Chains A and B, each alone.
Chain A
Amino acid sequence: MNVQQSFARRGFLRGALATAVLAPMGGALASCASGGTAPAGPTGQVSENNPFGVPDKSTLDAVIFKGGYGIDYVEFAGKLYEKNLPGSTAKISPSTAISAELQPRFAGGNPPDLVDNSGAQSIGISTILAQLEDLQPVVDAKNLEGVPIKDTLYEGVLAPGTFDGKLVAINYVLTLFGVWYSSSLFEANGWAPPKTWDEAFELGEKAKAKGKYLFLWGKEAASYYLELALSSAIKEGGDEVRVALENLKEDSWKHPALTKVFEALDKHVKAGHFKPGGSGTAFTAAQAQWSNNQDALLYPSGSWIENEMKDQTKADFKMMGAPVPTVTTSPKMPYEALHSGGGEPFIVPSQAKNKAAGKELLRVMLSKEAAANFAKTKLAPTVVKDTVPADGFGSTALVSQTKMLEAAGKNVFNWQFLDLYGMNKDVLVVWNAFLDGKSNAAKLAEDMQKMSDKIRNDASIKKVEIK
């Protein structure tokens, strides 16, 4: 009897399980987690003070990447926003994993009104391009001081957020790329930052004589050398190099300018100008070997490097930046030309409930008071001009950034394809091997070309034409 009973119970369970498996299959499958199109939320009265028509007493929902810059600068702007539109509320939430956290909200049709799409886990912009607001009205609008925002911005800062001719992201932080060094160390030894790859090689030999290296790298940041190589090649070969790469053209990685730069780097690798072991070193540890131990003279990076290494920089390390070396003394773009990108891209999803509020907060952030607050508290310039005083708040790196920008003038460039097509992971593998001496200039070009071809030939990846 006991056995029978147990069988009966099992039978019941089995039956229940079978029903469980079969029940949801009946047609419900098609109704997945996707949402419909969002209604065009309520709009408020448009006025001089409220150019986008934020509804009265509405709540703004902003999700901000919480990384090196924190979120307090947006909260600061949020206060100004609330003061400017009495009765409204600005809800600013931090996130460290933008993509994973916001994916359900995008798919469900209720994304936030403003997103700082930054960090290692940012959303690949090409996947959401069609779901983003055109932000041209924001830069066309006047800031809180009454000056059109587009007249207050640095040259070329809107380019990184423009795709297919549509401005979908405004990068808030101005980022310059170059090679960084200690001016005190260089002065003490009578060295100067190299202007060409030949000079760089000479400097490498001098460093060797002092028991130092010219360069070093960390495994997660091997891609900084790709940045260095691309900047140098674009200056040498002109804008055509960049355009071909951006549009994943055949043999774009075999352009003579790139070949020469790769060969120059290869020469450094083979001559032992790179500190060995970078492919097994955490990038923070590697960077400290440069800023604290001074094992290497130069480090290619973005202008965030000073802030990033603040606690691990030697006391008398006067950090300065210089443009990357060129191949010849007569490149198509001058030596002073710069790769100027943007950090912290802010986007406004089209399906957001209160997108006018998202744009309004951006307008406040791009106004003088909020931008000056950012520069002062983060020691980094925003895309808004004239927020850094001549003494750079006492930072040599910040002063040199301003100088580099002035010297470059209109000669600034930027590329988008690496982020656009999410290539970073594969780039790291190839560049770690190259810097480790396990490959060579020709193989490097071939590996990069293969990566580019794979994306070009994959019909499921949406391509964006870049000019």
Chain B
Amino acid sequence: MTLPPATVSTRGGGLSTAARGRRKPSLDRISFMAVFLGIPLAIYLLFVIWPFLQAFFYSLTDWSGFSPSFNFVGLDNYARIFTDDLFLKALGNNIILLIVVPLVTVVLSLILATLVTVGGSSKGQIKGLKNSSFYRVVSFFPYTIPAVAIGIMWGQIYDPSGGLLNGILNGLGLNFKDYAWLGNASTAMWCSIFVIIWGFVGFYMVLFIAGIKGIPSEIFEAARIDGAGRLRTALSITIPMIRDNIQTAYVYLGIFALDAFVYMASLFPNAGGPENTTLVMSQQLFFTAFQRGQFGMATAMGVVLAVATLIFSGLVFLVNKLTGGSDGGRL
């Protein structure tokens, strides 16, 4: 009996406060704005926008990183990095990662997510495979391991003489004695991509599971009554209903693929892999800054990296929009 009037009075009070506030700003309202808008904005300006601008400024100089002085060299650094064969090689490697890693990871985790949520028995309630919660937990394991540890661990697994992989292959009667998976230009990149995907699939699977769980099961049931099989359901219901999640995943994975520093640095310490086949831009940036002492050039690389990331994100949004997705998404 007391409940309905209370609700009414709260709503009324809220409205009247808002109306009063718009007319003359009270101390309450100003302090609210200062705390919730002013402080975050100041932090954002100081720690995000300002470093960005500084980085761009330094990319136009020949600063060594250690000296107090430097000269302005205009766009010289940009001209130089775009004629540097190693940087271009690194850029190319990043593009390979950018094409392969998000695509394979998203497809793989979508399949797994579908299996453990709606891929189960086609009779009775909509559910996943038997023991699906077990698979879900197991496939999330790799994500809980720090990337550096993953790199070191897989470095050991790929070890030519004592590694697990060659041990298994030799045990199967194949002759892989002393084959250096990470030491050959033809296999190093693909082995690294495998490690990266291995590390990420679990997380994106969980992300997609959450998305699929948000779809009302009536829709799946209706589709099933209409005679849709599992593949049809996945393509026509699951994917369109969680496309915002997929876009988010794609953007995150793309940003990661353009970086990839941690994995590459732990799989190939101090160098760019065999014939530089796994060298990525962020590694080249790090070497240029801290070993060559060319901070100006390194920040120019950083700017290129940032621009590449923005272009990629823009492309993903554009593609999603062109193919009929919602505007903006849930990023």
The answer for the CA separation of A121 and B80 in the assembled complex, in Å, is 25
Residues of chain A within 8 A of B37, CB atoms compared: 13, 16
The answer to whether A124 and B274 have CB atoms under 8 Å apart is no
Task: Give 26 A-B contacts (CB < 8 Å), ordered by A residue.
Answer: A20-B44, A29-B57, A106-B66, A107-B65, A107-B66, A123-B290, A124-B292, A126-B293, A127-B292, A131-B66, A275-B161, A276-B180, A278-B180, A279-B184, A281-B160, A281-B180, A422-B287, A424-B270, A429-B271, A429-B274, A436-B180, A436-B184, A438-B185, A460-B297, A461-B292, A461-B294
The A25-44 residues at the B interface (CB cut-off 8 A) are 25, 29, 32-37
Once A35-B68, A36-B68, A127-B66 are accepted as A-B contacts, the answer to whether A280 and B183 lie under 8 Å apart by CB is yes
Among B160, B292, B294, which residue has its beta carbon within 8 angstroms of that of A276? B160
Among A29, A103, A276, A285, which residue has its beta carbon within 8 angstroms of that of B290? A103
The A423-464 residues at the B interface (CB cut-off 8 A) are 424-426, 428-429, 432-433, 436, 438, 460-461
Residues of chain B within 8 A of A126, CB atoms compared: 293
> At the interface, yes or no: A128 with Cβ under 8 Å from chain B?
yes
Interface-side segment among B46-54, B98-106, B127-135: B46-54
The B179-209 residues at the A interface (CB cut-off 8 A) are 179-185
The answer for the CA separation of A121 and B276 in the assembled complex, in Å, is 20
Shortest Cβ distance from A293 into chain B, in angstroms? 9
> At the interface, yes or no: B254 with Cβ under 8 Å from chain A?
no
The answer for the CA separation of A424 and B291 in the assembled complex, in Å, is 9
Residues of chain B within 8 A of A29, CB atoms compared: 53-54, 57
Q: Give the interface SS of chain B, mostly helix, strand, loop or mixed.
A: loop
The answer to whether B58 and A32 have CB atoms under 8 Å apart is yes
The answer to whether A432 and B274 have CB atoms under 8 Å apart is yes
The answer for the CA separation of A281 and B178 in the assembled complex, in Å, is 10
The answer to whether B68 and A109 have CB atoms under 8 Å apart is yes
Chain A residues packing against B (C-beta within 8 Å): 5, 13, 16, 20-21, 23-25, 29, 32-37, 99-100, 103, 106-107, 109, 120-121, 123-124, 126-128, 130-131, 219-220, 275-282, 285, 289, 351, 421-422, 424-426, 428-429, 432-433, 436, 438, 460-461
The answer to whether A107 and B68 have CB atoms under 8 Å apart is yes
Once A277-B161, A277-B179, A282-B155 are accepted as A-B contacts, the answer to whether A433 and B275 lie under 8 Å apart by CB is yes
Residues of chain B within 8 A of A35, CB atoms compared: 68
The answer for the CA separation of A426 and B50 in the assembled complex, in Å, is 34
The answer for the CA separation of A280 and B183 in the assembled complex, in Å, is 4
Closest to A100 in B: B290
Q: Give the interface SS of chain A, mostly helix, strand, loop or mixed.
A: helix
> What 1/0 mask marks residues of chain B from 265 to 278 whose CB sits below 8 Å from any chain A CB?
00011111111100
The answer to whether B276 and A429 have CB atoms under 8 Å apart is yes
Shortest Cβ distance from A282 into chain B, in angstroms? 6
Which among B158, B269, B272, B293 has the highest number of chain A CB atoms within 10 Å?
B293
The answer for the CA separation of A103 and B70 in the assembled complex, in Å, is 15
Residues of chain A within 8 A of B68, CB atoms compared: 34-37, 107, 109, 351
